[in-house]
Structure 1
Amino acid sequence: IITEQLTGTGLVKVTASDVTLDGFTIQTGGGPVVTMPGCVWIYQEGAGAAVTGVTIENNIIVNPDAAYVPSLAGICTTGSCQASVENNLISSIHMGVYLNQGGGMVISNNTIEDSNHCSIGVDSDVGVTIIHNTLHNANDMGIEVFKANVVANFNNITDTNLGVNSVHGLPVDATFNWWGDVTGPEQVTTNPDGKGNKVSDNVYYIPWLTRNFETVLTEGIGYYGYPMVELLTGWNLLSTPFALDPDYCDTWAEFASLNELPLYTGGDEYYVNAYYFDGDVQD
């Protein structure tokens, strides 16, 4: 366990390349602190060499003191840095992870919960990948993005006011995430009926997941959601993805046999000419 009074410089400082921090409990000690960068602070000293190959994994980073600590991040980068943040539990921190500059960053398989501000903040445009994380119960937002080149896929982003916020309106790839509801995230213009966490403009969220990402990856089924389409009176032609059920219909031949439909093949494609669905007799 690493714990002490906060001093304004971080509990663990990493200024060298090829460092791994694995399996620690890092706990703030509280105290009358105005600001500090992060419990784990990865930074480039002055004009020195870039800090690369850093791995922060399998740690527990918590702030048990109920007192608010401004600007505190569980993990923070400053300057020219490259790091992987994997399999950590970060709880009750102002910002779970804050990336200030740096590139080639990967944030994966973490649980970040009860953040006072945001689960993840990105102020780097050199490439950031956010994948397979559970971001839960942040007071303000799940992911706060200030720069471009941010990709956030296959995450659970739930119980926060704003799931993903593109602060300066730059595009953010936030497709294939679970937003807490099968109707997807609420977006005032493109998905106003979504009951999941909200997203700002210029956040690309379609398709979303209709299950948490663990279920989707474990079952290998494309549980993907799209905005509702308003049907008009008369004939409507819809093209939608669907999931094959391994218990009842897990091959194209079985699917075609449901209504004696001819099965066509062409190259690597398999398709049927039509499928009749009767809501009165079929589930």
Structure 2
Amino acid sequence: MIPGKFDYVRPSTVDEAVAALVAGGDDAKVLGGGQSLMPVLRLRMGEPSVIVDTTRIDEMKGITDAGDAVVIGAGVTHDDVAKNALVREHLALLAMTTEHVADRQIRHRGTMGGAMAHADPAGDQPPVALAMGASFTIAGPSGRRTVSAADFFVDYFTTAVGPDEVLVNVTFPKHTGWGAHYEKFNRTAQAWAIVGVAATVRMDGGSIAEARIGLTNMGPGPVRASGVEAALVGASTLEAIAAAAEHAAEGTSPNSDIHAEAEYREHLARVLTRRAVAQAAGL
């Protein structure tokens, strides 16, 4: 199907992008890698009056070392995130999870910022941002603001980014030396996750000193498995990890759909959490 008519704007700076969104009103949409927006346009599920193409904005493309954090531009592709040396050294969980996003074609074109802003509850990367305590820089007509991951993901396909705002970058605190693993259960290798678990742990003397765990598709947005995290402190055996993983579904609200019932998703969350933590801890 052919998209409806729209005006096209290609700014070269973040300020120009914001100005274009303000001028376009509520019907303006941001274009990054296009992996979320283009299917919507082709199927005419949405017919924006203005498309603001951010692919020429240099500020949104880089990955930089910010001391105790790594800053990733919203326009950086999944492939560049997964292969970047800074990310692989200091954000192993993000690098590993990004390798599971869709297929090679989408990873080479789609952007991490676009995936975060799209906020699909089955998306792989949002739970990593939540678990690792990431923060989001958003630019709008009133200037720039920083929003924590806990406040960024609001509801199904809804974030803190307003209709006249642009996601500029995402800042991840470094987790250097932490073990990491991502478990994804899906129907086919390139499909959305029925359930996913992203786990990163800091080991001390053979025991888990600290754990961060994010869940995919266990609610309207990413979920932090805080009950599991607390129960894992001091764990040094597979039995202890299994016991802690029993808390994985606490505080979640998974849907029932054609792929899985809510009860089955809760079961998957417990099983995948056990596997992900064991791998991350090297046990």
TM-score (norm 2): 0.28
Which structure features the higher share of strand residues? 1
Rg larger for: 1
